[in-house]
Structure 1
Amino acid sequence: MYLSGIGTATPEARYTKAECLVAFQASDWYARLDSRAHLIARTVLQRDNGIEARRLAVDTLAEVFHIDPNTLAQRFVTHAPTLAADAARRALAQAGLQPGDIDAVVVSTCTGYLCPGLSGYVVESLGLRGDVQAFDLVGQGCAAALPNLRLGYALLASNTCDHVLSVCVEVSSAAMYLDNDPGVLISACLFGDGAGAAVLSRHATPSRRRIEWVDSSSLTIPAQRQALKFEQRDGMLRNILSREVPALAAQYAQQVLATVLGRAGLNTDDISAWILHAGGRDVLLAVERGLKLKATDLRYSAAMLREYGNLSSAFVYFVLEAALADDAPGGWWWLSSFGAGFSCHGALLKVDE
């Protein structure tokens, strides 16, 4: 399998941490939460937490604090299809393909629910063929990009498809919930909205930098399910984020990496570019230490986190796009995501110079 095109999309509105803090203090929610919650919000939004700004699908930050099931559901149905289609168009354009060339589309999300699913909206918006194979994956959280890509790999390997469109889209502002729980508050300060897409092809495109999917592996640890997940409360999604997440991410990222590198006869020093999900600054630092990397090794993940926040499943498409735009050295690249489950996934890519 080859990744022949990458595309990303975000809402136009960019909001800094400072702006978010001012909006929170001006909202009705500020008075509804306790003094400890105020301290947590100020700490996260005033100190360097690795995030400077986020893109959110709202015209004003005051809208973020309209937290009720109908408002959030409408935000998702309004913006998720548009973001998904915009990212997909850019991936198609980079691949030099037309909508009619796509044989299957796989769409992942965890921040909203539609039936019929988002894949149908992407089919409609892009004008994909009526006989395109369409799949919707839900409930995999921040880790979803790699399972999405692995399904694309299986479809191509089945010889029923030449080109598969992979899309991850998250409207995190449609999964907003506030209360006095520290994990809930930190989540509200970390996540942004966006979509990423990739065109997956059976054969490489000679005129473009070749990105070949070589091998992959996954871990799912149900015993750690409570550490990171969504739950339903008051008809809305409420994010559970525990203190154990950075350590878990580092532990399982190391295991997945060791498995794949062992099969390939490689070691960490052979990796020339690291395309990692960054759940937050503390997660990124824990992964850096766990994999025995230099801070510069994770520069693309850190740069995307600073500018966009945690984009959940879409994040790794942004990191991959940044590495390609920077002409990162070719050779072996490592692509990895982790999230709800607790789950962790990794893939070894071979990239031309």
Structure 2
Amino acid sequence: MYIRGIGTAAPSTRYTKAECLRAFERSAWFARLDTRSHLIARTVLQRDNGIEARRLALDSLDEVFTIDPDTLDRRFLAHAPTLAADAGARALASSGVDVSQIDAIVVSTCTGYLCPGLSGYVIERLGLRPDVQAFDLVGQGCAAALPNLMLGRSLLGAGSAKHVLSVCVEVSSAAMYLDNDPGVLISACLFGDGAGAAVLSSAPPDAEAGRSGRPPRRIEWVDSTSLIEPAQRKALMFEQREGMLRNILTREVPALAAEYAQRVLRTVLGRAHVDSSEIAAWIMHAGGRDVLLALEKRFELDHDAFRYSAAMLREYGNLSSAFVYFVLDAALADRAPGGWWWLSSFGAGFSCHGALLRVDA
């Protein structure tokens, strides 16, 4: 499988963490929550938590504090199809693949539910063929990008498709929930809205110039694996409460992410007879600043190794499943050195996935 094109999309409204704190302090929710919660929010939003700004599908931050099922459902329906289609259109534009050539589409999300699923909305907006194979994946949280890409690879490998459009979209502002639980409050301070997409093909790109005016880089998916531990699902998950999604985020997540990410890495690199010192670019889901620090320590890498993940986290926050598309796009835009690249995501389950890519110079 080859990744022929990458596209990302985020709302135009950018909010800094200082703006988020001021909005929280003037909201009715501030009085409803206890003093400890005030301290947690101020600590997260005033210290260097690795995030400077987020994109949210809101005209005003005051809107985020209207928290009820109908409002959140409307927000997801209004923004998820648009973000997903925008990212898909950009991936197609960068790939050299015409929309009529897409044989299958795989769409992942965890921040809202539609029936018929999001895939139908993206098909409609992009003008995909009516006989396109459509798959909607839900419930995989931040880890969803890799299973999405793996399904695309299976479709290509089975010969049922030559070109697959992979899309992950999250409207985290449509999964807002507030109470005095520290994990709930911290997650409300971390997540942003956005979508990522990739065009996957059974053949490498042609040599014609890409969107940058340079020949497109050849990105080959070499091998991948997954690790899922249901016994740890309560460390990171959504639960339904009062008709809304409530995020459960525990202190164990950074250590779990680092441990499972290392196990996945060792499995794939061992099969490929590649040493971790040969990895030229790390395309990692960040989760948060503490997760990145745990990964650096576990992998015995310096801070610069995860610079693309750190940069995307600082500017966009945690975009859940869409995040690694942003990181991959940033590495490509920066002309990161060719060779072996490592792509990895982790999240609810507790699950972790990794893929070894071979990228030309």
Q: What TM-score does the superposition give when structure 1 sets the normalisation length?
A: 1.00
For 1:222, the aligned partner's letter is P
> For 1:58 and 1:72, how far apart are their aligned partners in 2?
11
For 1:63, the aligned partner's letter is E
Query: SS at 1:328's partner residue?
Result: coil
Aligned to 1:69: 69
Deviations 1:218-269 (A, max 9, x none): 0000000000000000000000000000000000000000000000111110
**Following superposition of structure 1 onto structure 2, how do residues 93-104 of structure 1 map, counting pairs within 5 Å?**
93-104=93-104
Which of these residues, 287, 291, 303, is aligned with residue 295 of structure 1? Answer: 303
For 2:332, the aligned partner's letter is L
Aligned to 1:308: 316
Aligned to 1:246: 254
> For 1:292 and 1:143, how far apart are their aligned partners in 2?
23
> For 1:333 and 1:97, how far apart are their aligned partners in 2?
23
Query: SS at 1:11's partner residue?
Result: coil
Query: SS at 2:92's partner residue?
Result: helix
Give 5+ residue unaligned stretches, structure 1. Answer: none
Determine whether 1:327 maps to 2:335: yes
Deviations 1:175-203 (A, max 9, x none): 00000000000000000000000000000
Determine whether 1:212 maps to 2:254: no
Aligned to 1:223: 231
Deviations 1:47-72 (A, max 9, x none): 00000000000000000000000000
Q: Runs (4+) of structure 1 moved beyond 2 Å? A: none
The Cα of 1:206 is off from its aligned counterpart by 2.5
For 1:218, the aligned partner's letter is S
Deviations 1:99-131 (A, max 9, x none): 111000000000000000000001000000000
For 2:256, the aligned partner's letter is L
Aligned to 1:106: 106
For 2:315, the aligned partner's letter is E
> For 1:348 and 1:77, how far apart are their aligned partners in 2?
35
> For 1:311 and 1:161, how far apart are their aligned partners in 2?
29
The Cα of 1:294 is off from its aligned counterpart by 1.1
Aligned to 2:279: 271
Count of residue pairs the alignment pairs up: 353
> For 1:83 and 1:53, how far apart are their aligned partners in 2?
18
Q: What TM-score does the superposition give when structure 2 sets the normalisation length?
A: 0.97
Determine whether 1:86 maps to 2:94: no
> For 1:220 and 1:50, how far apart are their aligned partners in 2?
27
For 1:246, the aligned partner's letter is P
> For 2:146 and 2:184, how far apart are their aligned partners in 1?
25
Aligned-residue CA RMSD (Å): 0.4
The Cα of 1:136 is off from its aligned counterpart by 0.1
For 2:101, the aligned partner's letter is D
Determine whether 1:6 maps to 2:6: yes
Query: SS at 1:190's partner residue?
Result: coil
> For 1:291 and 1:313, how far apart are their aligned partners in 2?
22
**Following superposition of structure 1 onto structure 2, how do residues 38-53 of structure 1 map, counting pairs within 5 Å?**
38-53=38-53
Query: SS at 1:315's partner residue?
Result: helix
> For 2:339 and 2:97, how far apart are their aligned partners in 1?
26
Aligned to 1:285: 293
The Cα of 1:292 is off from its aligned counterpart by 1.0
- Identity across aligned pairs (percent)? 77
Aligned to 1:174: 174
Deviations 1:118-156 (A, max 9, x none): 000010000000000000000000000000000000000
Query: SS at 1:93's partner residue?
Result: helix
> For 1:97 and 1:330, how far apart are their aligned partners in 2?
23
For 1:346, the aligned partner's letter is G
The Cα of 1:160 is off from its aligned counterpart by 1.3
Aligned to 2:21: 21
For 1:224, the aligned partner's letter is Q
For 2:172, the aligned partner's letter is S
